[in-house]
Amino acid sequence: MIGNLDLWKLMAGLGIFLFSMVLLEESVKALSGRAFRHMIRLYTNTRMKAIGSGTLVTAILQSSSAVSLMVLAFVGAGVMSIQNGVGVIMGSNIGTTFTAWIVATLGFKIEIESFALPFIGIGGIGLMFFRDSTKLTHTSRLLIGFGFLFLGLDYMKVSVENIAQTIDMGRIPDYGLWLYLLIGILLTAVMQASAASIAIVLTALNSQLITFEMGAAMVIGANVGTTITVLLGSIGGAPAKKRVGFSHLIFNALTAVVAFLALPILVWGIKIFFDIHTNSVMALALFHTLFNVLGVIIFLPLMGLLSQVLLRLYPDYKEILTVYIDKTPTEVPDAATAAIRKEIVHLLEECQLYNLRLLRIDEKLVFDHDLHFEKCMKKKPTLDHLYENLKLLHAEIFSFYSRLQNQKLEESEAKELERIIYASRNIMNSLKNFKSIRHNMDEFDGSDNSYLNVQYKLFRKRLVELYHVMNRIRQMKSREEQYRGLLTSFSQIEDADRQFIHETMNAVSTGQVQQMEISTLLLVNRLFTQACRLQIFSLKDILLSQEQISDFDREMDR
């Protein structure tokens, strides 16, 4: 039996088919990706629109997984409700049946090579001549994708036909249709492409390697297997993403159960339109569409209930990032101003924590207690998560500031408020500087150049020393002491900057650094120094009086 099966031709056909699906998906997304995302986001405000959009976009993109992952992103970002997200996924199941109709209509009724090769030829020539035109390049890739889709199908068809000629179907043990259901699930889960699984099923059915009922069971299984991609995409994500992932699983799994139990009835209905013996491929394409439409009809009235159940299973939890302003009403300006001042100090501390972790410095060298973000999160935040939370905290502070401005404030109160909110902007600009040099710092640390390693350690030392000084200034009892401390700290930052530039020039003259490394070192030092200055400026605006701030600024201008 194996001797008649050209295994390598079968694998080549499958590989070409999978590659064609990637080309088609990427090309269509590149040509009209923004339009599709716009459609999914805007035309999903009702159940029927959501289902229709999911069907149309999937039919064009030829990838229910791609559409489902888009839904994950939109629901996770809060621009689409879970209920409408479920609707799009239900529609994508119908849209993905379009592939089966293409294969059934064209794949087995024409001379495939004569159909596929012109697409590949024209597309390949287009790639050579239209390299400078993005649209024409992607159009050429689209043509190649269509050609490869049918060429891969032809390879699979020929290799399966060879073995089908020597197999007596009556001699194959009858393990029951549940086995073929399981094969469909596993095949799709492994390949991450239900379209490829269904193409294999249609090929086997066309060669009479399997019966219509076996093929139908495998197609049902393929619908369940395709949920793996979305489930993987939702793991570790926000609760909204998990709700989308499991809604996809629940919908496809229960639809599969209904279709499998009602298989004799569905087959009887298919026989009204097609003879399953002489036109089995078209009949299976119709079956694929029919049971997906049936699933949508069954679940349409249950979408609200399903959303509620998933909301209970995966409730939203909101990390309370603020410490002071969420408990203070803006109707009491004195208290609100004091609260926003404290919140900005909190923002500064969290920013310092981010910077310490970016340079892999133990925060216990600076802080003797856990900061608020550490306490309110279930697990230690990553640098990226910490950065996003800092931006959210700054947004909360600015929103509180905007509400406070609507109150009746004295002129002195308004100026004080404007000054301290400026401190939060300096903190965020400092944070952005540190984020932009993260990659460079990692390069210095891992470099083979010992001079860069030493500079990395000196940057870390400069940061720890700055934060120790800033903590001491904050604990000083008089503003006069704080004023002198801030001036001294600023002078130290400037001295460290000049010393760094001097040492770098010496290193250049002695050949310790390469030409490309010089500009990187100077850029990193400039951003690092500016970030340190901005943090001192933020403390100046938080701690000092208006008169002292004016004196400080004059000292800076000298």
Same domain flag for 212 and 356: no
Average pLDDT over residues 211-220: 83
Distances (CA, A) of 408 to 324, 405, 414, 422: 21, 8, 9, 20
Same domain flag for 305 and 339: no
| Phi (first) and psi of residue 410, to 5 degrees | -70, 160
Residue 84 falls inside a structural domain: yes
CATH assignment at residue 546: 1.20.58
Q: Is residue 425 a contact partner of residue 555, using CB atoms and an 8 Å limit?
A: no
As a whole number of angstroms, the longest Cα–Cα distance in the chain is 98
Q: How far apart are CA 427 and CA 354, in angstroms?
A: 12
For residue range 70-116, list pLDDT tens digits in order. Answer: 666 566 555 566 677 777 877 877 877 776 677 666 655 555 556 66
Same domain flag for 332 and 472: yes
Q: Looking at the predicted structure, is the pLDDT value of residue 1 above 50?
A: no
Same domain flag for 233 and 364: no
Per-residue tokens: 420: 């301290």
**What is the DSSP-derived secondary structure letter of residue 381?**
P
Q: How far apart are CA 106 and CA 101, in angstroms?
A: 8
Which residue, 385, 371, 387, is CA-closest to 435? 387
How far is Cα of residue 105 from the mean position of the Cα atoms in its chain? 36
Show the domain range for 56. 2-313
Average pLDDT over residues 10-23: 72
Q: Looking at the predicted structure, is the pLDDT value of residue 360 above 50?
A: yes
| pTM more than 0.75 | no
Q: What's the pLDDT at 371?
A: 79
Residue 320 falls inside a structural domain: no
More confident residue, 275 or 173: 275
Q: What's the pLDDT at 24?
A: 63
Average pLDDT over residues 119-132: 78
Same domain flag for 369 and 475: yes
Same domain flag for 330 and 477: yes
Cβ neighbour number for residue 337 with a 10 Å cutoff:
20
For residue range 284-319, list pLDDT tens digits in order. Answer: 888 888 888 888 888 778 777 877 777 777 765 556
Residue type, 357: R
Residue type, 380: K
Task: Give percent above pLDDT 70 in the chain.
Answer: 76
Q: What's the pLDDT at 431?
A: 94
Average pLDDT over residues 345-354: 93
Q: What's the pLDDT at 329?
A: 83
Same domain flag for 417 and 354: yes
Q: Is residue 516 a contact partner of residue 508, using CB atoms and an 8 Å limit?
A: no
Q: Comparing 184-198, 355-369, 391-405, which segment has the lowest mean pLDDT?
A: 184-198
Q: Comparing 99-108, 123-132, 444-453, which segment has the lowest mean pLDDT?
A: 99-108
Q: What's the pLDDT at 461?
A: 95
More confident residue, 47 or 371: 371
Residue 318 falls inside a structural domain: no
Same domain flag for 47 and 143: yes
Average pLDDT over residues 423-437: 94
Residue 319 falls inside a structural domain: no
Residue 443 falls inside a structural domain: yes
Q: How far apart are CA 231 and CA 131, in angstroms?
A: 37
Name the pLDDT band for 164 (thresholds 50, 70, 90). Answer: very low
Q: How far apart are CA 435 and CA 444, in angstroms?
A: 15
More confident residue, 87 or 231: 87
Q: Looking at the predicted structure, is the pLDDT value of residue 4 above 70?
A: no
Residue 536 falls inside a structural domain: yes
Same domain flag for 445 and 512: yes
Q: What's the pLDDT at 44?
A: 63
Which residue, 394, 343, 397, 336, is CA-closest to 372? 343
Q: Looking at the predicted structure, is the pLDDT value of residue 340 above 80?
A: yes
Average pLDDT over residues 7-22: 72
How many domains is the chain built from? 2
Average pLDDT over residues 42-55: 73
More confident residue, 109 or 541: 541
Same domain flag for 225 and 369: no
Q: Looking at the predicted structure, is the pLDDT value of residue 433 above 60?
A: yes
Average pLDDT over residues 370-398: 81
Residue type, 360: R
Q: Is residue 93 a contact partner of residue 227, using CB atoms and an 8 Å limit?
A: no
Q: What's the pLDDT at 517?
A: 84
Same domain flag for 303 and 334: no
Q: Looking at the predicted structure, is the pLDDT value of residue 128 above 70?
A: yes
Q: What's the pLDDT at 470?
A: 94
Name the pLDDT band for 42 (thresholds 50, 70, 90). Answer: low
Q: Looking at the predicted structure, is the pLDDT value of residue 32 above 80?
A: no
Residue 536, exposed/middle/buried by CB under 10 A (0-12, 13-18, 19+)?
Answer: buried
Q: Is residue 162 a contact partner of residue 5, using CB atoms and an 8 Å limit?
A: yes
Name the pLDDT band for 183 (thresholds 50, 70, 90). Answer: confident
Same domain flag for 284 and 370: no
For residue range 486-529, list pLDDT tens digits in order. Answer: 999 999 999 999 999 999 999 888 888 887 788 899 999 999 99
